């Protein structure tokens, strides 16, 4: 175990997570594994300029995230691109990404050290915004990128092309582009399909479309999606990355979405079942299926 190290990221401003991080740090230290603990600062979740910063070295052997899916998304943006295996521990809330309950933490951690956990590779989205022919932002997300209207009384027109072939103009409150991992987030609330998390696809889901025949569409993750506002307007829309980071989107801007070269490595125990997770989290079929 000599020379091994671990990163511990815990939920912002949440005392149970802070206490558990301290306890876990002591546990690792007692076994000769150097811990690096860091609180997920609120600014790191919402500020584009902070999303790449972390006090945890990118050379640690593992990363343990204590919190909920929001904390996991922030950790994925900070450290996941280095190919570090990430273990998500749920400290309350829905927890699709942080699937390990707290009561199983230490047995699972021992399995992690012994390399007995499975690895799931999750695709990410690369998002680029072009303005006047110049790239003004590039951002990678694990869940989704959403274009939303700002004005309550109006809908927006969004012209969408797939691999340079025109798809349609969505007249809607907005449009979600989600990964399979993000299919159980905003996409699901908007009536989109649930995708198995390791599928190599994306889903486009309009939000409250004006034309009811505008339905979600699944496309291969090899596709390049381009989105522009369809009608001249002085009003802004807003881009939201992973439901946490916001960015203004103007008429004339172009959002280019493609598969990221970065993939997230999630650690799961051998008895992990995605279908069981769905049954429990979405309460399908009642308590009978939670066993």
| Distance between CA atoms of residues 244 and 141, nearest Å | 10
**Exposure string over 56-70, b if 16+ CB within 10 A, otherwise e:** beeebbbbbbbbbbb
Asked whether residue 233 is marked as a ligand-binding residue, the answer is no
195 assigned to a ligand binding site: no
The Cα-based distances of 80 to 72, 76, 97, 204, 276 in angstroms read 10, 4, 13, 24, 25
Q: Is 173 annotated as a binding residue?
A: yes
Count of other CB atoms within 10 angstroms of residue 232: 7
Residue 144 marked ligand-binding: yes
42 labelled ligand-binding:
no
Closest residue by Cα to residue 144 from 191, 91, 184: 184
CA dihedral 139, 142, 146, 150 (to 10 degrees): -70
What is the DSSP secondary structure assignment for residue 262, as one 8-state letter?
E
- 244 marked as binding residue: yes
Question: What is the Cα–Cα distance from 249 to 236, expressed in whole angstroms?
Answer: 6
132 is in an annotated binding site: no
Is 242 in the active site? no
* Contact assessment for residue 263 and residue 82, using Cβ atoms and an 8 Å cutoff: no
CB neighbours of 223 closer than 8 A, spacing ≥ 6?
162, 163, 202, 258
Q: Is 171 annotated as a binding residue?
A: yes
**Residue of 69, 164, 221, 271 marked active site:** 69
* Closest by Cα among 243, 144, 247 to 202: 144
184 known member of a binding site:
yes
18 is in an annotated binding site: no
214 is in an annotated binding site: no
Ligand-binding annotation for 186, yes or no, is yes
Residue 250: strand, helix, or coil:
coil
Annotated binding-site residue numbers for NAD(+): 69-70, 143-144, 154, 171, 173, 184-189, 244
Annotated binding-site residue numbers: 69-70, 143-144, 154, 171, 173, 184-189, 244
**Active site positions, annotated:** 69
């Amino acid at each position: 175990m000599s020379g091994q190290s671990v990163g511990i990221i815990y939920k912002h401003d949440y005392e149970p997570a802070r206490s558990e991080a301290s306890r876990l740090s002591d546990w690792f230290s007692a076994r000769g594994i150097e811990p690096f603990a860091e609180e997920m600062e609120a600014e790191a979740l919402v500020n584009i300029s902070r999303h790449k910063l972390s006090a945890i070295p990118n050379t640690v052997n593992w990363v343990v995230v204590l919190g909920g899916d929001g904390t996991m998304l922030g950790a994925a943006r900070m450290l996941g691109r280095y190919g570090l295996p990430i273990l998500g521990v749920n400290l309350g809330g829905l927890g699709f990404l942080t699937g390990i309950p707290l009561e199983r933490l230490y047995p699972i951690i021992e399995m992690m050290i012994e390399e007995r956990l499975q690895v799931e590779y999750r695709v990410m989205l690369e998002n680029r915004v072009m303005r006047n022919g110049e790239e003004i932002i590039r951002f990678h997300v694990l869940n989704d990128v959403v274009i939303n209207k700002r004005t309550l009384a109006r809908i927006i027109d969004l012209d969408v092309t797939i691999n340079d072939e025109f798809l349609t103009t969505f007249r809607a409150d907005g449009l979600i582009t989600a990964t399979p991992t993000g299919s159980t987030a905003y996409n699901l609330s908007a009536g989109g399909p649930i995708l198995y998390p390791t599928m190599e696809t994306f889903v486009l889901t309009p939000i409250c479309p004006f034309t009811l025949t505008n339905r979600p569409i699944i496309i291969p993750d090899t596709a390049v999606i381009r989105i522009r506002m369809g009608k001249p307007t002085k009003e802004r829309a807003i881009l939201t990355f992973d439901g946490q980071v916001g960015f203004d989107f103007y008429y004339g801007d172009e959002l280019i979405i493609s598969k990221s070269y970065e993939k997230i490595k999630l650690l799961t125990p051998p008895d992990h079942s995605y279908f069981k997770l769905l049954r429990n989290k979405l309460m399908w079929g009642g308590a009978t299926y939670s066993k």
